[in-house]
Amino acid sequence: MNARRLLSAGLSAAALYALMTATSNAQIAQLGPGGAPPDPNPRSARVGLDRLPNAPGRDDVGDVCSRCHNIERISKQRRTARQWQAMVPMMTDRLGDAADAPGEQDVRAVAEYLSNHWSRPETPAEAAQKDPLHEPDAPLPLAQARDLSGTWMTAMWYTMLNMGPSDGLPLSRGFRSAVNPKNGVADVLSPWAREKSKSWTMYNDPLTKCNSPGPLAYNSPYVFEILHSPQRVTLITEYFHEVRRIFLDGREHPPGNPDPTAMGHSVGRWEGATLVIDSRNFKESPAFQVPWSDQFHLVERIRRVRDGNVLEIDVTIEDPLAFKEPLHGIFYFKKDPSLEFGEWNCDGFFDYEPFAPKDAKP
Ligand code: HEC
């Protein structure tokens, strides 16, 4: 799919940009679902409320949960009681320190209402999970579970951009500190990284000069594909047409980072049905919004969940120069045969000029 198709589908370039670079829940909240600002019409925002059982707490759901999307998101699907209990604060946290952020009591009332009146029983596999939002492995024979091949699209394409049925896809959880889960990316930037990110603007962004976005290029609203060959997995992304080779033959990273690259050097091993990829030997990123150094270390744990057509990539990054603490995020992707891996040209793609805030200076 190309940029034109993406833009003609109703997504502004500014929203696309915000999605690709959104690193904190606060940024995601600003973006709103569908790449649009929150619905200012309180009546349409409450669409779907009358489908929920009439019981104490329903009005709280109407008040708290209609601020960024309509209530239909909730009334069209049931989750387990434990999932609602975990999801409700995850949603309201997105409002951050906003003046109209709901109080603790309202948040609790919403969670109670949904778990008592709008939940479904847990499956035995769900009941066995300590974290209710943790997805069990797909129930597949090992050889099949380890076949990650196919074309995958970020779940945010469906849940956030409304580009297709979300079917209750798991919600990705953006980067938070692995040590203090309340902290987002901005909180853990070292003074070194903070200084670099200060010089970033829409206009000098290295992406606009077609610099590589780095190893997490798959976490963009473009498909990526996984190819298996003996002793190697290859990951190719439509976005920027990047290639990552993951060696499964037991080799190690070349010591001393002799040949730093944007994609780094990746080695993988299987832990059950999970492919664990360890990558090092990166070059320092140009001054992206979130800069990293040549000490960047990436660990990705990839596995198939649900019926096997959803991919989970659990990402931990650390960088002693750029981050005060490691960062952790969980991202979901859907196998979608309706989306073709297409041509993607960087040249001329990034033109933010028409979308820049009026007072922005190049
Ligand atoms: C600050 C904005 C915001 C608020 C407030 C908010 N949500 Fe959300 N919600 C989002 C965004 C953005 C998405 C889709 C993005 C994603 O994939 O992470 C979403 C997605 C969802 C989904 C998944 C929808 C799907 O299609 O599968 C559910 C369920 C949900 N929200 C429930 C709630 C509930 C319950 C509340 C009230 C406690 C709530 N939300 C309040 C921003 C918000």
Residues 220 and 255 placed together within one structural domain of the fold: yes
* pLDDT value of residue 14: 41
Q: Cα of 233 to ligand 1 centre, how many Å?
A: 34
Residues 14 and 59 placed together within one structural domain of the fold: yes
- On whether residue 290 sits in a domain, the answer given is yes
- On whether residue 116 sits in a domain, the answer given is yes
pLDDT at 236 over 70: yes
Residue where a domain stops, chosen among 82, 104, 127? 127
* pLDDT value of residue 41: 62
Residues 117 and 160 placed together within one structural domain of the fold: no
Q: Cα of 305 to ligand 1 centre, how many Å?
A: 21
Residues 147 and 190 placed together within one structural domain of the fold: yes
Residues 281 and 317 placed together within one structural domain of the fold: yes
Higher-confidence residue of 47 and 243: namely 243
Ligand 1 site, residue 280, Cβ cutoff 6 A: no
pLDDT at 1 over 50: no
CB neighbourhood size of 190 (10 A): 17
How many domains are contained in the chain? 2
**What confidence tens digit (pLDDT) does each residue in 280-292 have?**
999 998 777 789 9
- On whether residue 245 sits in a domain, the answer given is yes
Helix (H, G, I), strand (E, B) or coil at 276: strand
Burial code of 310-346, b = ≥16 C-beta within 10 A, e = fewer?
Answer: bbbbbbebbbeebbbebbbbbbbbbbbeebeeeebeb
* pLDDT value of residue 166: 84
Task: Decide if 242 contacts 212 (C-beta within 8 A).
Answer: yes
Which tokens go with 116?
């008592």
Long-range residue pairs from 120-129, CB within 8 A, at least 24 positions apart, any chain:
120/78, 120/79, 120/80, 121/80, 122/80, 122/81, 122/82, 126/80, 126/82
Report the mean per-residue pLDDT for the chain.
86
- On whether residue 294 sits in a domain, the answer given is yes
Ligand 1 site, residue 74, Cβ cutoff 6 A: yes
pLDDT at 23 over 60: no
The residue-averaged pLDDT of 323-340 equals 94
Question: Which has the minimum average pLDDT: 42-51, 134-143, 223-232, 345-354?
Answer: 345-354
Residues 188 and 326 placed together within one structural domain of the fold: yes
- Give the ligand 1 atom nearest the CA of 168: 27
DSSP letters for 5-59:
HHHHTT--HHHHHHHHH--SHHHHHHH-GGGSPPPS-HHHHTTTGGGS--STTHH
* pLDDT value of residue 13: 42
- On whether residue 135 sits in a domain, the answer given is no
The amino acid at residue 258 is P
Q: Cα of 32 to ligand 1 centre, how many Å?
A: 9
Residues 207 and 346 placed together within one structural domain of the fold: yes
Residues 211 and 346 placed together within one structural domain of the fold: yes
Residues 86 and 200 placed together within one structural domain of the fold: no
pLDDT at 304 over 60: yes
CATH no. for residue 306? 2.40.128.20
- On whether residue 234 sits in a domain, the answer given is yes
Task: Decide if 33 contacts 162 (C-beta within 8 A).
Answer: yes
Q: Cα of 91 to ligand 1 centre, how many Å?
A: 6
Residues 309 and 265 placed together within one structural domain of the fold: yes
Ligand 1 site, residue 110, Cβ cutoff 6 A: yes
> In which domain, by residue range, is 80 found?
3-127
CA distance 327 to 316: 6
CB neighbourhood size of 243 (10 A): 12
State pTM to two decimals: 0.87
Residues 277 and 155 placed together within one structural domain of the fold: yes
Helix (H, G, I), strand (E, B) or coil at 318: strand
* pLDDT value of residue 4: 33
Helix (H, G, I), strand (E, B) or coil at 296: coil
CA distance 267 to 34: 37
Residues 60 and 101 placed together within one structural domain of the fold: yes
pLDDT at 53 over 80: yes
The pick from 68, 75, 117 for probing ligand 1's pocket by mutation, whose C-beta has the most ligand atoms within 8 angstroms, reads 68
DSSP letters for 193-236:
HHHHHHT--TTT-GGGGT----GGGGSSSS-EEEEEETTEEEEE
Ramachandran angles phi, psi of 66, nearest 5° = -105, 10
- On whether residue 361 sits in a domain, the answer given is no
Give how far Cα 337 sits from Cα of 17, 152, 343, Å. 25, 9, 17
DSSP letters for 247-275:
E-SS--PPTT-SS-BSS-EEEEEEETTEE
- On whether residue 360 sits in a domain, the answer given is no
Q: Which of 219, 314, 327, 329 is nearest to 274 (CA)?
A: 314
